[in-house]
């Protein structure tokens, strides 16, 4: 039995029924080239999917893993929107396929299997592609990096990926959650039921993202011009930003994740167990670090929860196909230092020659320049076809030709190298982390721990 089959049995996921016929035709987004054929539907597990095949198909497939995670129910629009956003892949001659995943919420293994189901569906309907390239953006980068350790792809492209893994990749949001509450004291308010902050939010809370943003505004005045903030609001905002090292423009989205996605992870995926720790963290940068560190809420992770989250999403670096990463240096959501964490995992596994990392002088998380995506998929395909490993410099040098076609600019910086992950995120000196699993260990761990894994 293959490792993929074993993983499916381990976490109780049902293989999708592969259709014998071509999927239903759907309208293509306007951003796609003329005469592109688009197909869509819903697989047996409930995941919606979209497929696009250009008129001049080069015979290869880009299989896309989207980010998030979305917390709502899946919709057909999700994969259509992703196709529109990455229509550059179709314009470069590749077929494209993306899944919505079967449900909202966290679950890397779940997303991997839904992506694999889509690959099987595509192959059954249109034949085996010449090459299959897996592309993951944001959280999809974590999904793709993890999938590359269990499934065979010809090449993998990770863009602005969350690559430090679930057991430590969200520590800066853990820090935000406790630092925010120390200064603001309104999440929860003293008059509301109290709960440990690692929960993110009470399971039965009716708070909305709008309600949370109102509390952030109440405490920091973040939506007001600086001259309209009170002195206390400005001090709170200054301290929170300085201690957490988060950009002001994405502070609300990080707090949103540390509230609603943490609730999903803890309550729905880990049966109320805590995978997060801030024991031993010394927070710095505030106007009074001593008082902050004496007053901030502390907690220690449940090691069974760390184990399960690690099993679901931590990378081992055990890759066998070429992996190319592109990351915006000033990404305000998935910091560029995630790349250092990933490089360490791959190097420690002895696979450094299978990884090339590139960086761009950009400041957005959700999308990069189309010219850079075209450059990256071309460089990856050439690497796979010729066996000649590119360099950051050679990739940067090849971008202007694509820049002329797309007019979106080339911003590669081949000289850049990020600092360590711990240079951006407070280390956990007293945390005991479950080690990232090798592919062999993944087959026997669930036998030793029957409840392992993130529930589908």
pLDDT digits (tens, 9 = 90+) for 295-350: 999 999 999 999 999 999 999 999 999 999 999 999 999 999 999 999 999 999 99
For residue 357, give the 3-state DSSP assignment. strand
Over residues 203-244, the pLDDT tens digits come to: 999 999 999 999 999 999 999 999 999 999 999 999 999 999
| Residue 456 pLDDT level (bands cut at 50, 70, 90) | low
pLDDT of residue 4: 42
C-alpha angle with apex 52: 77 to 129, nearest 5 degrees? 135
pLDDT of residue 434: 45
State how far the alpha carbon of 453 is from the alpha carbons of 152, 182, 232, 411, in Å: 22, 33, 44, 39
DSSP-derived secondary structure for 186-230: -TT-TTSPP--GGGSS-TT----HHHHHHHHHHHH-TTS-GGGS-
Q: Does residue 13 have a pLDDT over 50?
A: no
For residue 12, give the 3-state DSSP assignment. coil
Mean pLDDT, the chain, integer: 91
* pLDDT (average), residues 136-149: 96
| Residue 22 pLDDT level (bands cut at 50, 70, 90) | confident
Q: Does residue 15 have a pLDDT over 50?
A: no
Contacts of 124 (CB under 8 A, 6+ apart): 18, 19, 20
Q: Of 114, 98, 112, which Cα lies nearest the Cα of 63?
A: 98
State how far the alpha carbon of 354 is from the alpha carbons of 154, 255, 391, in Å: 12, 35, 12
- Looking up tokens 């309104």 gives 186
| Residue 450 pLDDT level (bands cut at 50, 70, 90) | very low
**Residue 73: Cβ within 10 Å count:** 11
**Start-to-end Cα distance in the chain:** 21
Which pTM does this prediction carry?
0.90
- Looking up tokens 């709170």 gives 236
> Could you tell me how many residues make up the chain?
456
pLDDT of residue 21: 73
Q: What domains can you pick out in the chain, each with its CATH number?
A: 3-167+311-448 (3.40.50.1820), 171-301 (no CATH)
C-alpha angle with apex 46: 43 to 52, nearest 5 degrees? 45
- Looking up tokens 């997060």 gives 276
């Amino acid at each position: 039995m293959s490792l993929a089959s074993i993983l499916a049995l381990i976490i109780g996921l049902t293989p999708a029924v592969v259709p014998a016929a071509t999927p239903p035709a759907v309208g293509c987004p306007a951003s796609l080239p003329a005469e592109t054929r688009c197909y869509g539907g819903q697989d047996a597990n409930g995941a919606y999917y979209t497929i696009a095949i250009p008129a001049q198909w080069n015979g290869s497939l880009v299989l896309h893993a989207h980010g998030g995670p979305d917390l709502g129910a899946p919709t057909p629009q999700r994969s259509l929107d992703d196709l529109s956003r990455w229509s550059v892949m179709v314009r470069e001659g590749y077929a494209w396929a993306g899944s919505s995943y079967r449900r909202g919420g966290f679950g890397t293994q779940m997303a991997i299997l839904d992506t694999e189901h889509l690959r099987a569906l595509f192959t059954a309907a249109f034949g085996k592609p010449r090459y299959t390239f897996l592309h993951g953006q944001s959280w999809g980068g974590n999904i793709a990096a993890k999938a590359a350790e269990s499934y065979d792809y010809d090449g993998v492209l990770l863009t602005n990926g969350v690559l430090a893994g679930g057991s430590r990749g969200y520590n800066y949001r853990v820090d935000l959650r406790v630092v925010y509450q120390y200064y603001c004291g309104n999440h929860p308010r003293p008059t509301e039921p109290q709960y440990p902050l690692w929960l993110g939010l009470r399971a039965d809370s009716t708070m909305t993202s709008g309600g949370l943003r109102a509390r952030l505004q109440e405490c920091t005045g973040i939506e007001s011009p600086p001259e309209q903030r009170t002195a206390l609001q400005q001090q709170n905002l200054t301290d929170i930003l300085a201690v957490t090292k988060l950009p002001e423009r994405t502070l609300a989205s990080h707090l949103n994740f540390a509230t609603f996605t943490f609730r999903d992870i803890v309550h729905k995926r880990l049966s109320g167990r805590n995978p997060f720790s801030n024991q031993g963290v010394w927070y710095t940068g505030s106007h009074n670090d001593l008082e902050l560190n004496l007053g901030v809420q502390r907690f220690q992770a449940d090691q069974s929860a760390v184990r399960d989250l690690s099993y679901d999403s931590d990378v081992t670096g055990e890759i066998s196909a070429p992996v190319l990463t592109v990351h915006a240096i000033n990404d305000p959501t998935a910091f560029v230092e995630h790349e250092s964490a990933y490089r360490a995992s791959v190097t420690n596994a002895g696979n450094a020659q299978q990884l090339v990392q590139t960086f761009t002088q950009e400041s957005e998380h959700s999308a990069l320049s189309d010219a850079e995506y075209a450059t990256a998929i071309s460089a990856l395909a050439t690497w796979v076809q010729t066996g000649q490993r590119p360099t950051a410099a050679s990739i940067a040098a090849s971008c202007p030709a694509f820049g002329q076609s797309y007019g979106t600019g080339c911003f590669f910086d081949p000289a850049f190298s990020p600092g360590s992950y711990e240079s951006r995120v407070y280390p956990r000196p007293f945390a005991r982390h479950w080690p990232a699993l090798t592919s062999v260990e993944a087959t026997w761990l669930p036998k030793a721990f029957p409840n392992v894994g993130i529930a589908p």
